[in-house]
A and B are shown apart, each in its own frame.
Chain A
Amino acid sequence: GAVVSQHPSRVICKSGTSVKIECRSLDFQATTMFWYRQFPKQSLMLMATSNEGSKATYEQGVEKDKFLINHASLTLSTLTVTSAHPEDSSFYICSARSASGYTGELFFGEGSRLTVL
């Protein structure tokens, strides 16, 4: 199946710093990518929809100035957690949908675990 890769898989940072997470579709073009956050023992929560070449659409309650999303190409979307705080510690997961199909499945990355000290 199609492959979506995230980097880094784990990151530890100090409070107040910014962290960038990359999401790449390795063998297909993704016009749309999605970013999720998952806290321990909870389900995935959709944060935003990232569209290539345009601004991301954020879900209600997600701060767009804190979670900066850039989707500059058909194979790369980035999530930057700005001025990170311990409560931002979470498992961040991206997913991508092929440009060729509305009914096609979404493919997920391996996730990036962020720990803010």
Chain B
Amino acid sequence: DAKTTQPPSMDCAEGRAANLPCNHSTISGNEYVYWYRQIHSQGPQYIIHGLKNNETNEMASLIITEDRKSSTLILPHATLRDTAVYYCIVRVSGNTGKLIFGQGTTLQVKP
């Protein structure tokens, strides 16, 4: 299973864009990149996922490099409520669909 590497923590000023990087250099061709976040003492919340094209939804944008070895999650205008642990996960291939969580990035949005 492809592994991911994320910085353990990041700070971002409120109202600014938060750019969270993720390295997944061993990703294989049929594996998707998923992003989830977990606010303290809650279950993880789905943010976005993609295969090779950039994706955007109401929460965030996902930029995947052409070689698919890394990606960046962009929160365009971070708010204090975006303070959470963000997990970048590569979906295990096959139809079990299980998600294996790494350590994630703790994003602290500051006023």
Contacts and interface: CB of A to CB of B under 8 A. Distances in A.
A43 B99 CA distance: 12
A109 B103 contact: no
A43 B106 CA distance: 11
A27 B102 CA distance: 29
A110 interface: yes
Given A34-B99, A102-B97, A103-B32, A110 B43 contact: yes
Interface in A53-95: 57, 91, 93, 95
Is chain A's interface secondary structure helix, strand, loop, or mixed overall?
Answer: strand
B46 A105 contact: yes
Nearest to B104: A43
Q: Is the interface of B mostly helix, strand, loop or mixed?
A: loop
A34 B36 CA distance: 15
B45 A108 contact: yes
Contacts, number: 54
Nearest to A51: B96
Contacts of B2: none
Given A91-B41, A111-B41, A106 B46 contact: yes
Contacts of A12: none
Contacts of B32: 103
A28 B104 CA distance: 28
B44 A108 contact: yes
Contacts of B44: 44, 93, 95, 108
Given A43-B87, A103-B32, A105-B49, A111 B42 contact: yes
Interface of B: 32, 34, 36, 38, 41-46, 49, 87, 95-104
